């Protein structure tokens, strides 16, 4: 079997992912592009039974003149002198390029095409969305394009799968060098000055073509493969007074002038249809007043859907892990290893997997909004309001995703080209209440207001819930506003966003997206939560010296005295043990600090364990209050409701303490996995540390204020 | 006139860009001197523009629109 590697390239909204999914189906994986944290999707497809192709899906890109990190990948890859040769790190080179263009907007999709074509790579041009072209009764003559561009041109539909076989055949011919790639017809005609520079660079570094040398000139500041010495050489040849920007505009204009008439010959379309159904939808959806109302309505629907659909699968996962713990406990003899397995590893895994239903549902709905083209409208509607808070319209996608989980939300900020706006989005997104805060809210809200309290028509608990979510949103925007004042930048911020025609979302694309995002969450968050769970298990199970044995002896004698039954005795032992453990010591150690917030050392333990992941709170409470770790949420609540402060004789979970604790969970950065992702995305621990400090400070001050005012 | 001065429903032709960095980016997205522009509607109290460039939708800030010079769309 022969194996090849093909790059899949095209403009944003060209339908590239549909085509990629159509070609590769489930045989996909996600990695990183060399040296940068931009997702690289790759997938395998068989062209014939002897030819296997690994497709690499590049981020949607407009041209060789990138404006965001994502867009840099294409030119960063193909300006390499060895992009197609075997010398570049084994297995990295590409054998051909499959360029995807939306046939309904062919002209503007050909700019990047003509630039890549200029480098002389083996290529196939796929004219995508033929289904739409047929609907709009366009007349397409691919032969003209084939002749003018000197490469195979295929009509295809990523949605219906029409033309896929023809595409595979064309690709096979290019890969086996059966079809001739004729001489370039889309070479850029340099100005005299440009030519001199390009030629000098080409000779200096022994490059394939003048155009490749030209890309080095244009991007010598950042191209990742250039050495410092090469950069200096280029700088000495390209003098300061040479206007790179101007020649970039010159190149773009010239290219459009060249392929514009060709497109005119090859395509005939009816331009009289002015008001499409997409325009009609937009008249309502992007209306200045109706638009925001529809957006918030959609958000409420989404969160409603998450809560009503995720309940059952979450209960099933919970029950499954409960059964697993019990099974392991009874199958293995009592030992340290068994405890590690049940209380550390299985509990840790369960803590991650329980969130899959909520996250999957949220991403399912968000990808429907993205696929249909709605998200671009939300960006249009909210760009201006977001900007006041140091954010970008594109931040809305991250903020909405943050309602499920901050990890994928932070990863979605890569489309924001302005570094300051992207950074602020990353910094404030974790303030949006994610699904991990829910179980904590659910336990504590009952201590603030009773379940049957109503305020007019509204259930008070529901209102408190909503208040907590709103508080998170307000905090995120407020923090953004502060960061905007603090962080200085010279970089200009742009909106300039395409508003693509609405399309019916393809269920295959949506499901693959959900699968991929959920997998990322499980792996990224899972790694950290797993390790921390084991660490916490250790801290809760071990104590300095022989304090564990002493605590156990004390509990046993107390139990005898009080004539407790076996379960009660075991629970008392567990409770005494955790008090004596390292975790208990740590809880008592921080007690003076958290006392002003209304927290005792037991809550202190829960706060510490929650720094791994918030949802650990309920389990920790169960252990501390000695009701066994398999306890239901309701039994934890019942036990907490009767907890009395030994010093004052009052209930511990009174309204002030409970609300203070809720506020703490709204603000605090209690998620190691998010910090790890922030470090990865900002490329330094600095911002992760700042985020940790500011959120914790906000939590502390917020709780302090609430408790001091209320008690 | 500048794109920022365009009224809703009006159509004009792009003449030039004031800021060539922004112009470069717009050109890669298909807005070139000679492109037909129509202002479809505005959002955020006139701060964000929904325009059509040769019939394709695009969102712009008013600050971006003010750097795009337009001319009368007379002959085709």
CB of A328 closer than 8 Å to CB of A342: yes
Say if the Cβ atoms of A288 and B43 lie within 8 Å: yes
The residues spanned by each domain of chain A are 2-175, 192-242, 290-486
Chain B residue numbers touching A496 (CB-CB < 8 A): 22, 25-26, 29, 58-60, 64
Provide the pLDDT for residue A274. Answer: 58
Q: Model ipTM?
A: 0.96
Place A676 in a pLDDT band, splitting at 50, 70 and 90: confident
Query: In this predicted structure, which of A50-54, A503-507, A531-535, A692-696 has the lowest mean pLDDT?
Result: A531-535
A33-37, A558-562, B50-54: range with highest mean pLDDT:
B50-54
Provide the pLDDT for residue A621. Answer: 77
The mean per-residue pLDDT over the stretch B57-69 comes to 95
- Residue A627 in this model has a pLDDT that exceeds 60: no
Provide the pLDDT for residue A520. Answer: 78
- Residue A632 in this model has a pLDDT that exceeds 70: no
Query: How far A592 CA lies from chain B's nearest CA (Å)?
Result: 49
Query: How far A498 CA lies from chain B's nearest CA (Å)?
Result: 4
SS3 A403: coil
Report chain A's mean pLDDT, rounded to a whole number.
86
Residue A10's beta-bridge partner residues? A100
3-state secondary structure A189-226: CCCHHHHHHHHHHHHHHCCCCHHHHHHHHHHCCCCCCC
Dist. CA A92–CA A31, nearest whole Å: 13
Dist. CA A145–CA A125, nearest whole Å: 9
Interface of A with B (CB under 8 A): 62-63, 65, 67, 105, 107-108, 111-112, 245-246, 248-249, 252-253, 256, 271, 279, 282-283, 286-288, 291, 376, 379-385, 393, 492, 494-501
Model confidence pLDDT, tens digit, residues A382-429: 999 999 999 999 899 899 888 878 887 898 787 787 889 999 999 999
Provide the pLDDT for residue A156. Answer: 96
In order of B28, B43, B59, the CA distances from A497 in angstroms are 12, 14, 5
**Interface with A, mutate which of B19, B25, B34 (most A CBs under 10 A):** B25
Give the CA count within 13 Å in the CB-facing half-sphere of A645.
15
Dist. CA A610–CA A672, nearest whole Å: 10
Which residues touch A636 (CB under 8 Å, ≥6 apart)? Answer: A443, A618, A621, A622, A625, A627
Provide the pLDDT for residue A609. Answer: 80
Chain B residue numbers touching A382 (CB-CB < 8 A): 44
Dist. CA A182–CA A150, nearest whole Å: 5
Model confidence pLDDT, tens digit, residues A283-317: 999 999 999 999 999 988 887 787 788 888 988 99
Model confidence pLDDT, tens digit, residues A434-445: 888 888 888 888
CATH code of domain A2-175: 3.40.50.300
Provide the pLDDT for residue A90. Answer: 46
Provide the pLDDT for residue A34. Answer: 59
Say if the Cβ atoms of A291 and B43 lie within 8 Å: yes
Domains of chain B listed by start with CATH number: 3-72 (2.30.30.90)
Place A626 in a pLDDT band, splitting at 50, 70 and 90: low
Place A181 in a pLDDT band, splitting at 50, 70 and 90: low
Query: How far B7 CA lies from chain A's nearest CA (Å)?
Result: 16
The mean per-residue pLDDT over the stretch A479-489 comes to 92
Nearest to A506 by CA among A22, A105, A46, A12: A22
The mean per-residue pLDDT over the stretch A129-143 comes to 89
Provide the 10 A C-beta neighbour count for residue A432: 23
Query: How far B26 CA lies from chain A's nearest CA (Å)?
Result: 7
SS3 A404: coil
Dist. CA A531–CA A533, nearest whole Å: 5
- Residue A628 in this model has a pLDDT that exceeds 70: no
**Interface with A, mutate which of B28, B36, B60 (most A CBs under 10 A):** B28
Give how far the C-alpha of residue A212 lies from the chain's centroid of Cα atoms, to the nearest Å: 34
Residue A6's beta-bridge partner residues? A55, A96
Model confidence pLDDT, tens digit, residues A75-97: 998 888 776 554 444 455 788 99
Nearest to A645 by CA among A581, A591, A599, A699: A599
CB contacts < 8 A, A to B, total: 106
Greater model confidence, A453 or A2: A2
Provide the pLDDT for residue A86. Answer: 42
Place A544 in a pLDDT band, splitting at 50, 70 and 90: confident
B window 16-75, beta carbon within 8 A of A? 20-30, 32-33, 40-45, 47-48, 50, 55-61, 64
Query: In this predicted structure, which of A102-116, A314-328, A642-656 has the lowest mean pLDDT?
Result: A642-656
Q: What stretches of chain B adopt beta strand conformation (E)?
A: 11-17, 36-43, 48-53, 56-61, 68-72
The mean per-residue pLDDT over the stretch A244-271 comes to 89
Query: In this predicted structure, which of A19-23, A535-539, B57-61 has the lowest mean pLDDT?
Result: A535-539
CB of A166 closer than 8 Å to CB of A98: no
Dist. CA A196–CA A200, nearest whole Å: 6
CA angle A170, A174, A175 (to 5 degrees): 115
Say if the Cβ atoms of B44 and A492 lie within 8 Å: no
């Amino acid at each position: 079997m022969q194996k090849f590697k093909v790059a899949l390239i095209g403009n944003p909204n060209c339908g590239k992912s549909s085509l990629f999914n159509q070609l590769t189906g489930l045989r996909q994986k996600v990695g990183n592009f060399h040296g940068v944290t931009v997702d690289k999707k790759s997938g395998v497809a068989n062209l014939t039974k002897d030819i296997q192709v690994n497709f690499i899906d590049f981020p949607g890109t407009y041209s060789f003149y990138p404006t965001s990190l994502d867009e840099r990948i294409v030119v960063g890859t193909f300006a390499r002198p060895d992009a197609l040769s075997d010398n570049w790190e084994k297995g990295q080179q590409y054998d051909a390029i499959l360029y995807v263009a939306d046939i309904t907007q062919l002209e503007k999709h050909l700019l990047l095409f003509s630039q890549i074509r200029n480098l002389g790579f083996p290529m196939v041009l796929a004219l995508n969305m033929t289904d739409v072209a047929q609907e709009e009764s366009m007349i397409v003559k691919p032969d003209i394009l084939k002749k003018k561009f000197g490469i195979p041109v295929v009509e295809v539909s990523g949605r219906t799968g029409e033309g896929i076989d023809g595409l595979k055949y064309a690709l096979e011919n290019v890969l086996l060098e059966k079809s001739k790639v004729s001489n370039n017809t889309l070479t850029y005609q340099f100005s005299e000055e440009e030519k001199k520079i390009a030629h000098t660079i080409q000779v200096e570094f022994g490059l394939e073509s003048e155009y490749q040398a030209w890309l080095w000139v244009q991007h010598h500041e950042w191209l990742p493969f250039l050495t410092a010495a090469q950069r200096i050489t280029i700088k000495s040849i390209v003098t300061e007074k040479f206007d790179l920007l101007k020649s970039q505009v010159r190149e773009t204009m010239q290219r459009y002038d060249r392929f514009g008439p060709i497109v005119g010959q090859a395509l005939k379309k009816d331009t009289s249809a002015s008001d499409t159904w997409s325009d009609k939808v937009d008249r309502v959806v992007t209306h200045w007043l109706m638009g925001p109302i529809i957006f918030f309505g959609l958000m409420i629907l989404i969160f409603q859907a998450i809560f009503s659909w995720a309940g059952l699968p979450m209960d099933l996962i919970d029950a499954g892990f409960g059964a697993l713990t019990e099974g392991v406990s009874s199958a293995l003899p009592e030992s340290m290893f068994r405890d590690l397995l049940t209380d550390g590893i299985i509990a840790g895994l369960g803590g991650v997997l329980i969130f899959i239903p909520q996250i999957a549902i949220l991403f399912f709905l968000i990808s429907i909004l993205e696929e249909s083209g709605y998200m671009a409208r939300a960006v249009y509607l909210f760009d201006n309001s977001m900007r006041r808070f140091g954010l970008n319209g594109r931040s809305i996608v991250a903020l909405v995703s943050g309602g499920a989980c901050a990890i994928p939300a932070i990863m979605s900020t890569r489309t924001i080209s302005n570094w300051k706006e992207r950074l602020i989005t990353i910094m404030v997104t974790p303030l949006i209440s994610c699904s991990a805060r829910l179980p904590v809210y659910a336990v504590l809200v009952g201590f603030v207001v009773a379940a049957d309290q109503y305020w007019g028509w509204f259930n008070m608990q529901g209102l408190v819930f909503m208040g907590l979510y709103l508080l998170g949103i307000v905090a995120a925007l407020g923090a953004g506003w502060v960061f905007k004042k603090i962080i200085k930048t010279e970089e200009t911020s742009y909106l300039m966003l395409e508003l693509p025609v609405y399309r019916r979302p393809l269920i295959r694309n949506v499901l693959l997206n959900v699968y991929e995002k959920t997998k990322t969450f499980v792996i990224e968050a899972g790694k950290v939560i797993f390790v921390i769970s084991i660490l916490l298990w250790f801290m809760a199970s071990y104590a300095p010296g022989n304090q564990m044995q002493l605590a156990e002896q004390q509990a046993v004698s107390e139990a005898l005295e009080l004539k407790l039954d076996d379960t009660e005795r075991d629970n008392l032992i567990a409770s005494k043990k955790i008090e004596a453990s390292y975790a208990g010591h740590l809880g008592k150690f921080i007690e003076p600090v958290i006392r002003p917030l209304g927290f005792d050392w037991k809550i202190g333990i829960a706060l510490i364990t929650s720094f791994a992941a918030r949802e650990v709170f309920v389990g920790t409470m169960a252990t501390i209050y000695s009701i066994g770790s398999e306890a239901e949420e309701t039994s934890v609540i019942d036990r907490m409701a009767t907890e009395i402060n030994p010093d004052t004789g009052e209930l511990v979970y009174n309204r002030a303490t409970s609300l203070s604790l809720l506020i703490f969970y709204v603000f605090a950065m209690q998620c190691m996995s998010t910090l790890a992702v922030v470090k990865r995305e900002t490329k330094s621990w600095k911002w992760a540390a700042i985020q940790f400090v500011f959120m914790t400070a906000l939590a502390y001050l917020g709780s302090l204020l609430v408790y001091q005012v209320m008690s | 006139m500048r794109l920022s001065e365009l009224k809703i429903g009006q159509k004009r032709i792009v003449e030039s860009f004031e800021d060539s960095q922004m112009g470069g980016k717009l050109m890669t997205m298909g807005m070139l001197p000679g492109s037909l522009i129509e202002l479809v509607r505005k959002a955020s109290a006139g701060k964000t523009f929904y325009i059509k460039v040769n019939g394709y939708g695009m969102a712009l800030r008013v600050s971006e629109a003010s750097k795009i010079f337009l001319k009368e769309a007379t002959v085709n």
